[in-house]
């Protein structure tokens, strides 16, 4: 009986005082987190029937904090202590919710996996993301758009049709075959003239080719070099490193972070 009681107390104690994370260099068991310092450039107030191509530019800057496991974002001390980290509302913003994806995984990020905080940091230096429409051409039941995409050496492009049109396919200008008909393109390069792409996208089955539109987002990611981190990201990285060494399991985490320039426009 005494042995059974001791065993029960041991099990209860183990459950009560168990730590989900533990950090040490040889055998880290840690929470995985991400932090993006993002500059937004959204061209808004689009009027497709206007005589001149005029837009208002919506500029903003924020830190994104992302949890990569099921304990969600409120388990990150940097987020839970700071009420300026706000939930992101995606209604009316499309499948990708105006977020700077490096890979096409919007379904992976639930509402409690990500928060954003508005910031102003003069140290933020990013390679500008942009998209220009070079040519638009109707072909029977298809319409072809040729875009010039610019940014860093790692660019994520999201393609979101507005209306009843479908993506027939996309390819780099001059290529014979279409790569695929997905709504996401990852553009990576090295060498001279890197970060400049001519991307052809073809749409089909529209009710009216002249009335259907497309939202193009370009996320220019900086994953190396002097501009990979802003001062804000450096402070986050340094605090995590210092506090996880104290043994507090709440700070037992790894943090990948970089800067992003995000451009969005309706064509």
- And the tokens for 137? 């051409």
Q: Is the pLDDT at 51 greater than 50, yes or no?
A: no
Strand intervals (E) in 173-212: 184-188, 196-204
How many C-beta atoms surround the C-beta of residue 127 within 10 A? Answer: 19
| pLDDT of the residue at 207 | 64
CA distance 209 to 138: 8
| pLDDT of the residue at 267 | 86
| pLDDT of the residue at 139 | 79
Mean pLDDT of 175-200: 90
Task: Give the model confidence (pLDDT) of 20-37 as tens digits.
Answer: 666 666 656 678 899 999
Q: How far apart are the first and last CA of the chain?
A: 76
Check: CB of residue 246 under 8 Å from CB of residue 193. Answer: no
Nearest to 187 by CA among 197, 177, 178, 176: 197
Nearest to 121 by CA among 59, 42, 61: 61
| pLDDT of the residue at 1 | 55
Q: What is the mean pLDDT of the chain?
A: 84
Q: Which residues contact 26 (CB under 8 A, 6 or more apart)?
A: none
| pLDDT of the residue at 221 | 96
Place of tokens 């995000």: 262
Q: Given strand 56-67, what is the order of strands in its sheet?
A: 114-118, 56-67, 31-44, 253-266, 213-222, 154-162, 184-188
158 pLDDT band, cuts 50/70/90, is: very high
| pLDDT of the residue at 45 | 59
Q: Is the pLDDT at 89 greater than 60, yes or no?
A: yes
Q: Is the pLDDT at 18 greater than 90, yes or no?
A: no
Q: Is the pTM of this model over 0.75?
A: yes
Nearest to 35 by CA among 263, 249, 235, 250: 235
| pLDDT of the residue at 174 | 86
116 pLDDT band, cuts 50/70/90, is: very high
Place of tokens 């479908």: 166
Neighbour-count burial for 149-166, b at 16+ CB within 10 Å, e otherwise:
bbbbbbbbbbbbbeeebe
């Amino acid at each position: 009986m005494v042995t059974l009681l001791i065993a029960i107390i041991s099990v209860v104690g183990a459950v009560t005082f168990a730590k989900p994370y533990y950090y040490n260099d040889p055998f880290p068991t840690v929470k995985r987190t991400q932090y993006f310092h993002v500059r937004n450039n959204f061209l808004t107030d689009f009027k497709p029937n206007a005589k001149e191509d005029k837009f208002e530019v919506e500029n903003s800057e924020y830190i994104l904090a992302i949890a990569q496991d099921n304990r969600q974002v409120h388990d990150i001390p940097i987020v839970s202590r700071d009420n300026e980290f706000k939930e992101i509302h995606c209604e009316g913003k499309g499948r990708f919710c105006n977020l700077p994806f490096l890979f096409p995984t919007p379904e992976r990020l639930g509402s409690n996996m990500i928060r954003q905080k508005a910031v102003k940091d003069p140290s933020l230096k990013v390679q500008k993301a942009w998209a220009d429409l070079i040519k638009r051409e109707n072909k029977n039941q298809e319409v072809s758009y040729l875009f010039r995409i610019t940014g860093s050496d790692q660019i994520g492009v999201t393609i979101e049709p507005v209306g009843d049109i479908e993506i027939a396919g996309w390819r780099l200008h001059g290529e014979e075959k279409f790569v695929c008909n997905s709504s996401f393109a990852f553009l990576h390069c090295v060498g001279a003239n890197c970060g400049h792409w001519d991307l052809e996208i073809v749409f089909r089955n529209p009710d009216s080719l002249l009335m259907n539109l497309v939202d193009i987002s370009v996320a220019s990611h900086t994953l190396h070099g002097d501009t990979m981190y802003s001062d804000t990201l450096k402070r986050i990285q340094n605090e995590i490193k210092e506090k996880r060494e104290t043994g507090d399991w709440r700070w037992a985490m790894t943090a990948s972070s970089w800067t992003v320039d995000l451009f969005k426009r309706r064509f």
